[in-house]
A and B are shown apart, each in its own frame.
Chain A
Amino acid sequence: MAVWLFDAAAVVLVACAIAAIVQRNPLYTALLMGVVFAGLAIPFVLCQAELLAALQVIVYAGAIVVLFVIVITMLGSESREALEEQLSIRPAGTLCALVVGILLAALLAGPAVWVWGSQRAESWPTLLSRNTEAFSAALFTGRYIVPVEMASLILLAAMVAVVVMIVRPPPGSNEKTTTKQ
């Protein structure tokens, strides 16, 4: 049952991923990417990593792709075409895609060979059914508490920086005059 589901999900996900790259309409690309991100939750669930599955959907499909979709819908199609004509980005884009593709292939090939060699796929651990607790315990009380807090502090600093940069009133703002009225 699990293997069958995994195969079906894998076929759909790879197909969507390929479609996302081949697709010319940027909105479709973003939506297909959303499908891939959300669909990645299925393998996670099959590995009994429900927490990761939920986070995958919340963070990637629910937040990141939503931002992509918002940006794409706000850019008019006219401006997009104009941009494409002006920049003639095709050669540069092809080059970038090639480099990224080679890097990705190298990255993926390493672990794949390793898994193949050691036959790890067969002894996939059937994890604890309550692994959410184990995961959070390791994250918040165990050995990872310091890195987690550090990361949260760094993110907080970045957020504060963004707010400071944005909220600064523009020079010559007429705030005073409006309140006096």
Chain B
Amino acid sequence: MLVQILILAIKIVCVLLFVMGMVPVLIYIERKLIADFQQRLGPHRVGPWGVLQPIADGLKLFLKEDIMPANANKLVYVLAPIASMAPAIMMFAVIPFGEPVDVLGHRVGLWLADLNIGLLYVLALSSLGVYGIILGGWSSNSKYPLLGSMRSAAQMVSYELPLAVTLLGPLLLAGTLSMVGLVEWQMSNHWLVLMQPVAFVLFMLCAVAETNRAPFDLPEAESELVAGFHTEYSGFKFAMFFMAEYAAIVSICAVAVTVFLGGWSGPVLPPIMWFLIKLFALIFIFMWLRATFPRLRYDHFMQLAWLRLLPLALASVFLTALVLCLPVPESPALVAAANAGVIAAVLLFELLMRARRRLVQEKG
């Protein structure tokens, strides 16, 4: 009993250290990558190749004066950074990092908890993430933060829907909500990304929007809203919002790795290495997107969620269910083909509608 509690405590500390340790690493990688994309040098003064830059920045933020607007709601103002950081970190409780290992004669799974409802837990926490942003924007008692938080609330509520729907397809196939169960199913069958390519792409798109990253970073659009919901924040509290954003990226990518990319499974290398490789690959995509695409206009952005992503996600789920109902042995090729069919059909429909619109416009 005591050993189990000790093991659990060590696991909690390890997961916390992992999430907190990832933040400076990601900031450094992101700055270097964006610099490469834009043909600049990026940070290179502090430490060899500038690797100590995030630590220097962090120190600076911690030592800075903590300013609070005069008419801010003090309690909520302090609460908001905590409310945005907690869900992002809590999500890691159900992420399996690797296969169970033997430690001192105990079989220890490399995850904190294998919940029966792992996926629902993830969705529940991602739906709580919006609190920090709304409260932060409102409590500052300032115009731009309020506008930013309103945008963000609409955005997160809109994109949560397709995000949840895209997870239904993998759920139908694997028949389990447990994250460990999902990985084990994929190890004995196929990675779900092969059978649910549409759902995977949609999930990643929604993940970018859920984490308020470019090109979907409307809540913090510098050119329109100063800095969005955290305009009035400084010092340590600002750093917490910053860390929450990166922690959210890591956690949503970890969910994608677990659900679609087979979690820790892979040949030759140890399982935890595979998990990290896949995780960093997905995070790289996030940064690549930021370097490549300009920010969307607000109405386009809402249209994308409701008129494109949600119907696509629903169609993908429907076709997956249909294939599973067919009286043929379930084959990955068939499911994937059905999914590819969705894309083809939707693209065709889109092209037809465009052509029709152009025709109507030409006629006047």
Contact = CB atoms under 8 A, between A and B. Distances in A.
A27 B138 CA distance: 10
Interface string B119-135: 01101110110110011
Contacts of A74: 150
A72 to B, nearest CB: 8
A50 B115 contact: yes
B117 A66 contact: no
A129 B130 CA distance: 32
B364 interface: yes
A62 B134 contact: no
Nearest to B122: A54
B177 interface: yes
B124 A62 contact: yes
A55 B361 CA distance: 47
Measured as residues with beta carbon below 8 angstroms from the partner, the interface class of chain A is 20 to 34
Contacts of B76: 27, 31
B157 interface: yes
Contacts of A129: 116
A145 interface: no
Interface in A112-155: 129-130, 132
Given A27-B76, A27-B138, A54-B121, A66 B361 contact: no
Nearest to A48: B116
B130 A66 contact: yes
A73 B364 contact: no
B149 interface: yes
Nearest to B124: A57
B167 to A, nearest CB: 12
B159 to A, nearest CB: 13
Given A57-B124, A58-B123, A73-B146, A132 B116 contact: yes
B163 to A, nearest CB: 12
Nearest to B127: A62
Given A31-B135, A54-B121, 7 more contacts: A27-B76, A50-B115, A55-B120, A66-B130, A69-B131, A73-B150, A180-B364
